[in-house]
Amino acid sequence: MRILVLGGDGYLGWPTAMYLSGQGHDVGVLDNAARRQYDHELGTGSLVPIETLQNRVQAWREISGKTIAIYPGDLLDAEFAYATIRGFEPEAIVHFAEQRAAPYSMIDRKHAVYTQTNNVIGTLNVMFAIGEINRDIHLVKLGTMGEYGTPNIDIEEGWLEVTHKGRTDRMLFPKRPGSFYHLSKVHDSHNLEFGCRIWGLRVTDLNQGIVYGQETTETALDERLVTRFDYDAVFGTVLNRFAIQAVLGLPMSVYGGGTQTRAVIDIRDTVECIRLACETPAGAGEFRVFNQATESFSLAEMAKIVANTFPGQVDVDFIDNPRVEVENHHYSFVHTALEGLGLKPHLLSDTLLTSLFGIIEKHQERVDPAALQPSINWRQTSNLPVTRS
């Protein structure tokens, strides 16, 4: 297949592009380098040094003999989006090209507006381009389990059958997101479901859990092919933070009481889920939702897994929660669709033992301990220093 990966320079986009290319697909990547710019803005960076997109693609060509086409540009530029889709003529589009951090979206008004403008308008431009150029293009859109929030009922895969006052209907599962970032993903889902109804688009919405791990078969082939490892309190994941704190001998910082439960998935399972979704496309007019997660743990349980698997003493600190979220909540979700297509999940404990700790130990001198501390408070409308004239 011809598959265009939007956001193909990112943490997930780059390993996905290589994985699809290695599986025999003709791959192109589109990226505006925004994720690298956030590093400059925040004064942080990947724990693992990463090459430029051009060097990555060149290294992949040398090692695999396969070519990945590069389309540098921004989806907010509708003419560029249209021209790229016309030029590459994809059969499937994998959409990672969004600002992905909840804390970043909660910094202040400017960052909330940027996140929603970038994510929602960029997706609308892709949606309209598909609608006008070729409605048979299958859009595989990365959503998030965070769209659902923490409802007091089991989370179905996107849709819910409801009986109310004697009448029954099938509707999108109610959403209660926890940040302006997660809200942007909800807006995407509603826009794309509408496009399926009115234009007959083909869309798979992948509501993904927290991704952990940094290594896939392809990234391990050469140091020039590695992907990002974010650990800071804005873009890093909780598991990355815990693992780094364990290696550095710092106490693991658990927000609140630690009973908040999250869905998780191994990065190797993420790239396989994308392949499965691309190779078994949604039907015309179908808005298909898969819960792309394989396990769930409370924050305290994650900390315990890290402590139990790390070969050394690890302490835990429970600190004030900078987020506004429910503790001691029900959390159960259906995740049968992708496993029904053939996904064989990896387990969290195996990844920590075989990958994370070794990578962190190798690059621990690059860690900025101050970046591990939470700096963005959900209860404040601005988390930037006040300037006075």
Helices (H) and strands (E) in the chain, counts: 14, 14
Q: Give the CB-side neighbour count of residue 74, counting CA atoms within 13 A.
A: 10
302, with CB counted inside 10 A (0-12, 13-18, 19+), is buried
Q: Is the dihedral of CA 193, 198, 201, 202 positive or negative?
A: positive
Please say if 185 is a catalytic residue.
Answer: yes
The verdict on whether 16 is a catalytic residue reads no
Amino acid at 29: V
Contact between residue 85 and residue 130 where contact means Cβ atoms under 8 Å apart = yes
Listed residue (25, 33, 24) closest to 4, CA to CA: 25
* Residue of 71, 84, 185, 204 marked catalytic: 185
Catalytic residue from among 19, 148, 181, 331:
181
Nearest alpha carbon to residue 228 among 94, 56, 95, 371: 56
Q: How far apart are alpha carbons 84 and 75 in whole angstroms?
A: 10
Q: Check if the beta carbon of residue 141 is closer than 8 Å to that of residue 204.
A: yes
Residue type, 263: A
Give the residues across from 319 on adjacent strands.
Answer: 255
- Residue 225 and residue 298 in contact, taking contact as beta carbons nearer than 8 Å: no
Place of tokens 């949604």: 282
SS3 of residue 95 by DSSP:
strand
| Dist CA 70 CA 88 (whole Å) | 10
SS3 percent helix, strand, coil of the chain, rounded to 5, is: 40, 20, 40
Count of beta carbons in the 10 Å neighbourhood of residue 162? 12
Pairing of strands 138-144, 252-255: unpaired
44, 144, 216, 294: which one is catalytic? 144
- Helical H runs in the chain? 13-22, 34-42, 53-64, 78-88, 102-105, 109-116, 122-133, 180-199, 238-248, 267-279, 299-309, 337-340, 348-351, 357-363
Q: Which residue has the tokens 């999940």?
A: 345
Catalytically active residues, by annotation: 144, 181, 185
